[in-house]
Structure 1
Amino acid sequence: MATILFSFAGSCIQKLQEIITEEAIQILHVKQELSDLQQTMMQIQCFLKDADRRRIEDLAVSNWLGELKDAMYDADNIIDLAWFKGSKLLGEQPSSPSRKLTACNGFPLVSCFSTILTRRGIAVQIKSLNKRIERIAEFGTKFKFETEPVASVSDMRKTSHLVEPNIVGKDIIHATGTLVGMVLDHREKKAYKIGIVGTGVGKTTLAQKLYNDHRVKGSFKKQAWICVSQQYSPVGLLKEILRNVGVNQEQGESVGELQAKLAEAIEGNSFFLVLDDLWESDVWTNLLRIPLDAAAQVTTVATTRHDIVAKEVGVEHMHRVELMSEEVGWELLWRSMNISDEK
């Protein structure tokens, strides 16, 4: 477990590094809190590998790892929550200079109090979690773990955040081959949509294999991978797609302005889009359908837990992924981060 937690911690550290300077975090004024969380996670990472070697013989170490695992899940959640709340505030921020004169950091006075409460709420949660992880780390020092050097954040950033999982299972290979074939067969269509449906982590793994396939990459001028999630910001989502296709955005741009930029960026080009963890069809029908119509050809892959969402989006092929156990899911994450098994 500790070796997997080592990788999971690294993933959180990299995610923090990527978002810590974004507007969505700046507007919350929690950069220092997230920096502190990042440093704490880097410190605790140093002795996780030794903890893995000792957990089988030492029940106390095993219990400590279980507590740390829960904290890591919470850390990943709070990082996503901070980005979501910040993106939502950005979407609410007025763009008119005249309104900013009577505003609290760009917000009208009527919403200023709510904005302050949001910022404070996020900051309190991050500080509380940081103290919790610090206590876990302090308790871990009692085990006198041997420390190992950890790659710097700058080294982590040299690798792509979206990695191709090193999975060789026959089901994954077969499913990937089938879906790649469908994408290539329909790449000349004006619009083609595939749904990957399931309740486990396998749907994202399969979508990653499809997204990273060299034949798919070579068939489209532009590509974008977007994790939508249950709570999303329309402005934040559009900005993320624009970042994927290499388009800059200005602070305070509206949904309509960002949709127009997206349409202009992909006009006349072939476009491959993955919408990962889609919970509502509105993302497609109300937000992306019209701007994506500007592309010469667009293939969309949507991963979702619910059949009804895939049907409402209008997928022409639905691939079902069976539920994975938590143990298998962790192993997939392990392999996706190129961690060799230590016996």
Structure 2
Amino acid sequence: MAREIVSSMTEGIVSSITGEIVSKLISYATKLISSARGCEDELRGIRQSLTMMRAVLADAEKRQVKDESVKLWLRMLEDVAYEADDVLDEFAYENLRQKIEVGNQRKRKVRDICSTSNPGLFHLPMADKIKAIQESLVRVEDLANKYGFAKLLLVELVDTNNEIIPNRETNSFLNHSEVIGRQNDVLEIVNLLTSTTNQQLSVLPIVGMAGLGKTTFAKLVYNHELVKKHFDKTIWVCVSNDFNEKRILKEILESLTNKSSQLQSENAILQNLQKELQGKRYLLILDDVWNEDHMIWDKLRGCLLGINSNIGNNIIVTTRSDNVARIMETIPSYHLEKLREDECWSIIKKMVSSIPLTPDLETIGYDIAKKCGGVPLAAKVLGGTMTRKNEKSEWLAIQSNEIWNFPGASNKMLPILKLSFDHLRSPSLKKCFAYCSIFPKDYEIKKEELIQFWMAEGFLQPSQGSCVVMEDIGNMYFDILLANSLFQDEKKDEFDNIINCKMHDLVHDLALSVSKSETLFLNKDLEGDISHIRYLFIESDGKIVP
């Protein structure tokens, strides 16, 4: 069942994105016909084939999960659509380049860039590429007719980029001061940390399943007023999969000094840490630890003991693993419990506060909250999805979705996240989300940079005739993903503008699932089929890149 869920995620985005690319290409081909002397017939043929494909896609998307022939056809159409996108883009560039060149030289009229009678540099190869695209599209169209899932109707060419840009989201995001159901737990941990101890370095693991809110819980402790008074220094380091002693020490130093460090020598880092922590009592948070190698932990612990000999230093470790907890603990682990059903409903209610809750919606909403299984991330994500659903029928559709039949507690979050992904408003928004899989887990995603990436990939095209600029669409998409809790841990500048964010590990797993067919992560030897790869992510540990 898990394999089927992941498979349907990938197929869903293929059909949605293929449809978007096809619509974009119809519009593109239409614009180019008037300036493509010598290639008009080929471009009209491309436009006609693409228009038919667009009519077929809606029907194909409904059938693809059960029909293997439709899956293969969609993949074939996607390949041709991407190739056509590249060729038409190249065509437009070459057309513009030659017009500018001719205009600057003022020596001759604009050449017909695809004219076989006056071929100039690059003309014949360009015409051949366009002809090849037309032939490929005809073959794909013939297959659709052959296997009976083409709609046999004529489709009028209309505005092909007719996605309605929704209003900018105004939903307020759930911040850490509004966290529900953890107040007693936080107070218990704060009392434990601030009580008298004879230990030089105490280690308390916070253990819990994915999505339970371990990081948020640790932040509540970290920012507690009594903790700030008790400890001279508080330090936060996100460890994740790379438990590298030198990197962690360097990030501890950067957290203390609030600036990046250029130090490369571990001895130099340790000397600077001694200066910063000498005579100070500190609390260190090691967030999201996966390392189960006792020796690696002992090395880091030895360095920390050597830096500061004070009594009363504390480390909080957040982890999903009981093995990690057993290796690191000096104080018995604190196992974070699931929330109650009413607490999950309280989270959802905060997210949907702009919707008038009728008794019927209350009943349906509470039942949906029960399905969250006590996991706050599930409640937040579902609340973000429901906040734009005003009708009873829309809430009932979420309540009765077959995704709830997915078995197994350990994997339950993935289908819940898939449900939220399905309800994203447009294929381009889904594509923007899937693109974020190229970032490593726990990576701080810079908002402005991300929007520039989306623009460069062509994901933020405004509707034809619209005066909305791509940056505004990118900002709106970012806000929607944040409101759906698909982004989190946002940081703001002094003007209250969001500058960066992160993705929860499970949300990152979802992004990987929906993008795996076309994204290559080059951090190990190549495996499997790479014929459909569109994006490449290279991760280097400073050694040899494969």
Q: Which has the higher contact order (CA 8 A, sep 6+)?
A: 1
TM-score normalised by the shorter chain: which range applies? 0.3 to 0.5
- The two structures have a TM-score, normalised by structure 1, of 0.47
Higher-Rg member (1/2): 2
- The two structures have a TM-score, normalised by structure 2, of 0.31
